[in-house]
Amino acid sequence: MQRSERSDNHHNNHSDSDSDVRPARAADIPVNDLRSALARLATVPGQLLETDREVDPHAELAGVYKRIGAGGTVQRPTRLGPAMIFNTIKGYPESRVLVGLMASRERVARLLDTTPTALTQRMGDAVRHAIAPVTVERDRAPCQEVVYRATDADFDLRKLIPAPTNTESDAGPFLCLGLVLGSDTETGHADVTIHRLCVQGRDELSIFFAPGRHIDAFRQKAEARGEALPVSINMGLDPAIHIGACFEAPTTPLGFDELSIAGGLRGKPVELVDCVSIGQKSIARAEIVIEGEILPNVRVVEDQNTGTGHAMPEFPGYNGPANPSLPVIKVKAVTMRRGAIMQTLVGPGEEHTSLAGIPTEASIYNAVEAAMPGFLRQVYAHTAGGGKLLAVLQVNKRSAYDDGRARQAAIIALGVYSELKHIILVDTDVDPFDTDDVMWAMTTRYQGDTSTMFLPKINGHVLDPSQTPAFNPALPARGVTCKTVFDCTAPFHMREEFERAQFKEVDPRPFAPHLFPEEDDHV
């Protein structure tokens, strides 16, 4: 395959980047791209695993990581584990694949310079102090060190990028962490979103849009004029970019550039660069960028090459159905860093909870804090809902009036994040991140007939198979649901009856020092 390479040599390549850096403390390494994120993780025992054993990207790679670190709503056995780099990919001798970078709340906290319980507030602060991206010259953009053009006779996405299939029934290879960057060609407003992208041919991808996505609105406007929509697909990124991109309206309304949230997280702007083949920007420090155009009035069957009827495993833990009519991206070029790392995820795993859930938490926290300062202590977008469908809200009741405010907080949360289905309310003595503690509160502070709020026939999420008229004939369409609030807080006037047994506070370390090793200062 023909390729062009820049002659500049001031960017790190595969041999001198992430693997060889081993400083003493993770916090000493600033993160501005994927490689510096990996360098930081490499200093923390148990957070990053590399293997040279050959792996097949078709089903095997995801099957391995399902057992090592996927977690989430993946069928058991699975577990939380390290991020993993596969250095030897069958059929792709020059490629490496990373999976699970964000498949742990602890790992995300280390990468975003905070602690697991403070991630919500850190993300909320980044929204309030967003910094807009900037454009740099091409000689400052590592993502364009190597360029492949679709006009080359031997260009073939299927041979160039080791896009994995998660299961043997997938519609095809998927780019599972491809961040699509598109712009409204009339207003110039930009948006970034992660979408389901299936490799359909040598220079074609299909793209699935869930209802209400902003880039789809840009596409529809362009299509109405008979025009293609130029987009870049950015892979292998600073995790601040991926997580910041997963905020949704109304927190980030149409016209809000989510890249500015990553800027707020890092305290400096994300760097963009002009694409080499289309009138669009790409993320300058990405590992791999696909440049292309969403064609007007062209549709394709998602599983046209396999006929399985399935797309890929989605965040609720089920196979998403193959879509019979999806827009097509015509690829114009692929640009890469030297020694590029392909980044992917296991669809229903804990990584989705981090990507979708932490922005969900921040959106809810900011909205409730604005309405009721100091009332909401913590939010956890639970992994059982893939970070989207289930949230636990910890509230601080100080009067009988607050019994009603707890439920009001739940209503605000449902308004802020439309895809939420269930909310569990707990008191400040319950750890919202500990499912056993939450279930204890539900068992001892909840009565189904008096502690439940039902809000029927509200828009939810199309990928939840229970949100269909076939499951509940009262529902008018797929993606409409009954939303439920489980009030597992103690009534304020009975608070003394619900006081937990109080044990003496004792330092256990002298009795069992091996169980309490000193924590690494990662902040």
Contacts of 70 (CB under 8 A, 6+ apart): 62, 78, 79, 100, 103, 346, 348, 349, 350, 351
Residue 130 CA to residue 257 CA, distance in Å, equals 9
CA dihedral 190, 194, 198, 201 (to 10 degrees): 30
Three-state SS for 404?
A: helix
Contacts of 416 (CB under 8 A, 6+ apart): 250, 251, 363, 364, 367
The continuous run of DSSP H or E covering 438 comes out as helix 435-444
Strands 281-283, 452-459: pairing is unpaired
User: Sheet of 134-135: strands edge to edge?
Assistant: 134-135, 271-274, 281-283
**293, 314, 350, 361: which is the annotated catalytic residue?**
314
Contacts of 370 (CB under 8 A, 6+ apart): none
Three-state SS for 379?
A: strand
Residue 462 CA to residue 478 CA, distance in Å, equals 6
Residue 411 CA to residue 423 CA, distance in Å, equals 9
Residue 101 CA to residue 351 CA, distance in Å, equals 7
50 is catalytic: no
Q: Which residues of 382-420 are buried (b: 16+ CB within 10 A; e: fewer)?
A: bbebbbbbbbbbbbebeeeebbebbbebbebbbebbbbb
Residue 425 CA to residue 441 CA, distance in Å, equals 9
Three-state SS for 159?
A: helix
End-to-end Cα, the chain, rounded Å: 44
The DSSP line for 251-289 is TS-TT--THHHHHHHHTSPPEEEE-SSSS-EEETT-SEE
The continuous run of DSSP H or E covering 290 comes out as strand 288-300
Residue 130 CA to residue 127 CA, distance in Å, equals 5
From the list 402, 413, 442, the residue with the least C-alpha distance to 426 is 442
Nearest 5°: phi and psi at 508?
A: -85, -10
Residue 200 CA to residue 344 CA, distance in Å, equals 18
Residue 217 CA to residue 388 CA, distance in Å, equals 22
Q: Please tell me what DSSP assigns to residue 5.
A: E
Would you please indicate which residues are annotated as catalytic (active-site) residues? 314
